[in-house]
Structure 1
């Protein structure tokens, strides 16, 4: 990217104040979106719709001062200095603190104590200071390792060209091309970034807190919508009895028996999806394309869907690929190509649906997707989005090629997911879900991402956790992974530890391709089955907490799974912690990632922390050695937390939500907003919800406000479960000596209440 010489055409007088936001400079434009965020772009930069969703901003008051050697642009939050004649841009906070200084275009000074976080779903590092980062959608190339996986250093399923600096700012490189980032690897005092092609175009975002940076970044690229409430329950995937090489073993009977077994064993689950082998492999693309015809071993698939819904599975979905194919009954590829709805390839009309074209998307839905949506499929797993303009996993084809394909390669997964997400939501008259392995900037609008096909080996467990932390720091909050790993039968101990983590991930998903086990919990022994059910039930009890935090994510962009640096960016101790995280605002989860370990070291940040299992209280900014026998995942609760829980159910909607328990940890002042809505419709976007504000303080005063909002919640009463040393007991209060918890029942949920505990 080459910056043209700057000619400051917009300076008329030496000092002025403008209620405007865009400044035309010879070959360059500087545009203030808000007092905290501005865009730097060359004149040929475009306002595309895939990554960025907002280009129109309210006017920003800017003070302009021109001097001999520099021009200053100052808002209420920032001072931007353009040096003459070098044209380098320096950025200061309004109080004069240097945020970013530039040596030359997109080569910026690296401050001694500066660290960088983000860049999408990366499995290599958390803090990228001193590293080189290459961003281009794909899982990496090269010969697979002996255990069947590609290099975690090259994994790039969902890159995002965005980072946040501990100096209090973030940069989003607004490009769809492959990009390169040198974060101090070549020069210890400089970092740089560039795109393979295209004009200079980036946004500078000032926080200074990471949460504020993410809030602005997601106001630019879009926020995650609320999933249906049942999507916070367990997702189970299946190869229907036959993975690759065993396709003839697939059947409707296998799927129904799997569903019945979950129900008969009392294992809560809400969503089921059928992976690749439900479909007939076509004439042209084989298993790398979708014919939308059922494999001949599937008899009466509509009856299968009807039976699954009769067993109260809330959604059932299917795996697809973006290439179309001809089958035995339908010639979808020929039809789409003849109409110009496939993306052209060299010397042929192509096989990929042109998801960039609304007309092509409408045809795809009406003539292809509807063949399965019309009999009961309610979402897709939109797999292999990375194959557009690159080598596919399941094919030796590379698809479209050339400069335009390279420009579209990274945003194709976004367009692909968007089509499926929006079409199903409209057809089902229900909030949509979409499962995808690949993504890019903006994919958070069409959730959710899962971590890809990593083998069931201990060496991949911690890198998968790291992927979840990094994608959350990049604006994508709904994220999942295959519990126990994807390929290979899992060591039962690994399966247990991975499932503990999986049940306390943003989206809980169990799925594997190992034949004949498929990561189904009863194949790993009684201890593994008991563990699976224990943590699954824990998740279902926490659904009100997860759902309220998901609403906060919709409102502000703060992810469900939070690397500790997101909340404690001034504490260098957390910069490289990749095996602990906050789930929502209050619960710190500490997975055990070493085989045979029955203890692990945990870092407790500032504040007080309570051991979830024992109730022991710890002062923060210290390390503790946590006992972690195989059935115990170390969990710590932030003091002052208020955590809403509910009765465990086998699926969301089984029980009417009339009673909520509030777990209160009053070792510090606390505040929580309990969010409720109908769980399914888009009404929440028009205010159809209720918020109940709950506070507690260290003096023992608990206040529950009357609910506010248009929605009339089904919740009738609260039970207060207060984690405290034995207080003075009032009539109708109960104290459990063993758990050190005070219970106060039947607090009305529809009006204001205040309780004082001595």
Structure 2
């Protein structure tokens, strides 16, 4: 028998392994998740939220010169030099090391292996064959005529995590910038390394992508539920004056904007005031926050009161992480004297030290409360990338040195966390925070938006790609500026972007183009009607979106997902970056080409129904879909059960006591309708209700079963209306059949008890 080249000791789930080449720790967290640490195992709190694990049964075999560690899900083989091979329980090779040095590791790239993840990237969906650099920021170059940043470098919210089509994922547990070569240099090798620090990574086995996301977000934190009204429309405003026009800002503009949405019957729930509400300070100018109002806002509290009387559920303000002196408050001087700013090379610094709980407490009580007390209920925590890097609005780079390099990528998390948690406690409801930057773990403090991209066709599809990539990286609540951010949009582009935006996880309307600001009426009557049409579609889908939000909270599956998440064995979807699933059952296919009257759509395996025409199609095929300006191609999975409601102007306008169940019969399917109070954290203690709905179709008959609500919450729904999509009238039943719409409608079904409906 060969001599064993490894020595190891075991303590609980952790194995300390020593070879002639290297020493490291391998710790099983679960039977399908383990951590490898080449150095002291990290215990930082911003990325990873769980370090204590239940005991894992591990069978140890150290014969034949190899150390084999076997759980119910995996077999890990440690070679004589410390390199790892990982097999599933059936003996199939998942992953194998090729070499390791002080900063990184090389692994075998299998011939048919593809990679998805890495955060909010605008370059590619499938990263096989690519090089990837992960550092929070928008990139360095501005190669375009309009001055926009390079979409190939855009990195607002990188996540050092990927999923392989071989059924495993790897999360590199580092705060430092990282480099990934996913088969670019060598066709049979991929590698990853961190700029500094000891190497540590988690290996996760699914094999399904949804299982991998569940485990990854179990490690880095599940996304909590937003207040239900946050699924309604968000509108941002520069209050009448963007950069260079600040003198035009006023509370009167804000109030008139809010009133106009209400008068026009355009549903909206949330309003936020961007940069120009605030007085620019004496030290940092527009790149810092003084927490003082510009002189054109004479009575901010009265403004907030008016907005809340207009039934806006939340009104927020844009801030930056640098603090500054104004004309009334010397917040920067005070923070520095208390050592609550993060030190810089030649001065005490301007950034609040959001890593220090005492500094956060002071910031909240003495800075943020100056606007929260007047009525602000959330922040847009902008410019998180400026800590240790060049800021957008100044030539400053902030803190430098090794420690700042270590913290640069996680600064946006600490920054968002402070605002999210403090406002949640103050408002006594679920938190909400809007941020452009993030990193692994940012999903705990939602939501992310895609950044400041010009209103041009060339940026539209990359923004869609960003949403799909952030979703497969564990971040589900995501938004973008409908119509683009900078410049006035081509009206056709505006419509196409709005159609996508209203069918995104978070719907956000915001632009800096003066004087239009992406307000729909600026684009004429037809565009305004289409805007309203899709806004009302979104509000009708609130029960569906809210149920998808709960599913995301429980499983980590994003509300908006790339097709590869549901069809990872279908190579046809690996590079589809302009179609996605909204929830589990609705496939949205944005139109990204100017003047297009049709677009090619790929229908994955199964049966699909055209939302607009009701026509059925078999899957695993391509289709040329017709798309006039007012219609974005939408397809529904056969078997889908989609809960909807009547349109409201804002969440809370009326009690939703009737839910409409849109049922598209298929072989067999099920859905859950989730309900709670919409605002509190009581859902985390079980105060919610779930109604289970399933349908089965065979031999021409459709059987629909609706359970009584389960859970502690007393759901307000009193009745269901069934709209069953059938190509002919049923022979039985008491409902009505609309031959033109091909819909059989049955009303008055009592929601508080179990029901079974047979249609044939």
Q: Normalising by structure 1, report the TM-score.
A: 0.98
Structure-2 separation of matches of 1:668 and 1:551? 25
Indicate the residue corresponding to 2:336 in structure 1. Answer: 337
Indicate the residue corresponding to 2:497 in structure 1. Answer: 498
Confirm or deny: 8 A CA contact 2:6 2:67 kept in the other structure.
no
Structure-1 separation of matches of 2:607 and 2:212? 26
Q: Does 1:45 align with 2:37?
A: no
Confirm or deny: 8 A CA contact 2:204 2:212 kept in the other structure.
yes
Confirm or deny: 8 A CA contact 2:132 2:179 kept in the other structure.
yes
Structure-2 separation of matches of 1:269 and 1:144? 37
Deviations 1:206-248 (A, max 9, x none): 0000000000000000011000000000000000000000000
Structure-1 separation of matches of 2:748 and 2:386? 56
Deviations 1:125-171 (A, max 9, x none): 00000000000000000235211210000000000000000000000
Indicate the residue corresponding to 1:96 in structure 2. Answer: 91
Confirm or deny: 8 A CA contact 2:316 2:377 kept in the other structure.
yes
Indicate the residue corresponding to 1:741 in structure 2. Answer: 743
Structure-2 separation of matches of 1:165 and 1:52? 21
* Alignment equivalent of 1:59, drawn from 55, 63, 68: 55
Q: Structure 2: any 5+ residue segments left out of the alignment?
A: none
- The within-5 A match list for 1:367-378 is 367-378=366-377
Structure-2 separation of matches of 1:580 and 1:444? 23
User: What is the SS of the residue equivalent to 1:517?
Assistant: coil
* Alignment equivalent of 1:713, drawn from 712, 715, 720: 715
Deviations 1:408-464 (A, max 9, x none): 000000000000000000000011100000000000000000000000000000000
Indicate the residue corresponding to 1:633 in structure 2. Answer: 632
Confirm or deny: 8 A CA contact 1:660 1:719 kept in the other structure.
yes
Structure-2 separation of matches of 1:236 and 1:296? 23
Indicate the residue corresponding to 2:13 in structure 1. Answer: 21
CA drift of 1:542 comes to: 0.1
Closer/same/farther in 2, CA of residues 235 and 544 from structure 1, 3 Å limit: same
CA drift of 1:24 comes to: 1.5
Confirm or deny: 8 A CA contact 2:733 2:759 kept in the other structure.
no
Q: Normalising by structure 2, report the TM-score.
A: 0.97
Indicate the residue corresponding to 1:235 in structure 2. Answer: 234
Confirm or deny: 8 A CA contact 1:62 1:73 kept in the other structure.
yes
CA drift of 1:729 comes to: 4.6
Confirm or deny: 8 A CA contact 1:390 1:398 kept in the other structure.
yes
Structure-2 separation of matches of 1:726 and 1:68? 69
Confirm or deny: 8 A CA contact 2:560 2:583 kept in the other structure.
yes
Deviations 1:634-659 (A, max 9, x none): 00001110000000000000011100
Indicate the residue corresponding to 1:539 in structure 2. Answer: 538
CA drift of 1:88 comes to: 0.9
Structure-2 separation of matches of 1:593 and 1:35? 44
Structure-2 separation of matches of 1:637 and 1:732? 26
Q: Structure 1: any 5+ residue segments left out of the alignment?
A: 12-17
Structure-2 separation of matches of 1:67 and 1:569? 37
- The within-5 A match list for 1:357-436 is 357-436=356-435
CA drift of 1:115 comes to: 0.2
Structure-1 separation of matches of 2:730 and 2:157? 54
CA drift of 1:384 comes to: 0.3
Deviations 1:574-612 (A, max 9, x none): 000000000000000000000000100000000000000
Q: Does 1:33 align with 2:33?
A: no
CA drift of 1:10 comes to: 2.1
Structure-1 separation of matches of 2:164 and 2:567? 13
- The within-5 A match list for 1:89-238 is 89-105=84-100, 106-143=105-142, 145-238=144-237
Runs (4+) of structure 1 exceeding 4 A deviation are: none
Structure-1 separation of matches of 2:166 and 2:733? 54
Structure-1 separation of matches of 2:455 and 2:735? 48
Structure-1 separation of matches of 2:193 and 2:611? 46
CA drift of 1:527 comes to: 1.6
- The within-5 A match list for 1:485-634 is 485-634=484-633
Confirm or deny: 8 A CA contact 2:478 2:506 kept in the other structure.
yes
Q: Which moved more, 1:97-106 or 1:422-431?
A: 97-106
Confirm or deny: 8 A CA contact 1:45 1:200 kept in the other structure.
no
Deviations 1:647-672 (A, max 9, x none): 00000000111000000010231100
CA drift of 1:69 comes to: 2.7
Indicate the residue corresponding to 1:672 in structure 2. Answer: 671
Structure-2 separation of matches of 1:602 and 1:400? 48
Structure-1 separation of matches of 2:730 and 2:616? 21
Confirm or deny: 8 A CA contact 2:673 2:692 kept in the other structure.
yes
Structure-2 separation of matches of 1:143 and 1:63? 55
Structure-1 separation of matches of 2:542 and 2:237? 24
- The within-5 A match list for 1:431-510 is 431-510=430-509
Closer/same/farther in 2, CA of residues 464 and 741 from structure 1, 3 Å limit: same
CA drift of 1:87 comes to: 1.5
CA drift of 1:493 comes to: 0.3
Confirm or deny: 8 A CA contact 2:319 2:379 kept in the other structure.
yes
Indicate the residue corresponding to 2:696 in structure 1. Answer: 697
Q: Does 1:310 align with 2:306?
A: no
User: What is the SS of the residue equivalent to 2:315?
Assistant: strand
CA drift of 1:7 comes to: 4.7
Confirm or deny: 8 A CA contact 1:6 1:87 kept in the other structure.
no
CA drift of 1:21 comes to: 1.1
Confirm or deny: 8 A CA contact 1:135 1:179 kept in the other structure.
yes
Indicate the residue corresponding to 2:759 in structure 1. Answer: 757
Structure-1 separation of matches of 2:37 and 2:161? 16
Closer/same/farther in 2, CA of residues 335 and 120 from structure 1, 3 Å limit: same
Confirm or deny: 8 A CA contact 1:391 1:397 kept in the other structure.
yes
Confirm or deny: 8 A CA contact 2:482 2:508 kept in the other structure.
yes
CA drift of 1:298 comes to: 0.7
CA drift of 1:731 comes to: 5.5
Structure-1 separation of matches of 2:483 and 2:667? 37
Structure-2 separation of matches of 1:137 and 1:329? 34
User: What is the SS of the residue equivalent to 2:697?
Assistant: coil
Indicate the residue corresponding to 1:14 in structure 2. Answer: none
User: What is the SS of the residue equivalent to 1:213?
Assistant: helix
Confirm or deny: 8 A CA contact 2:142 2:150 kept in the other structure.
no
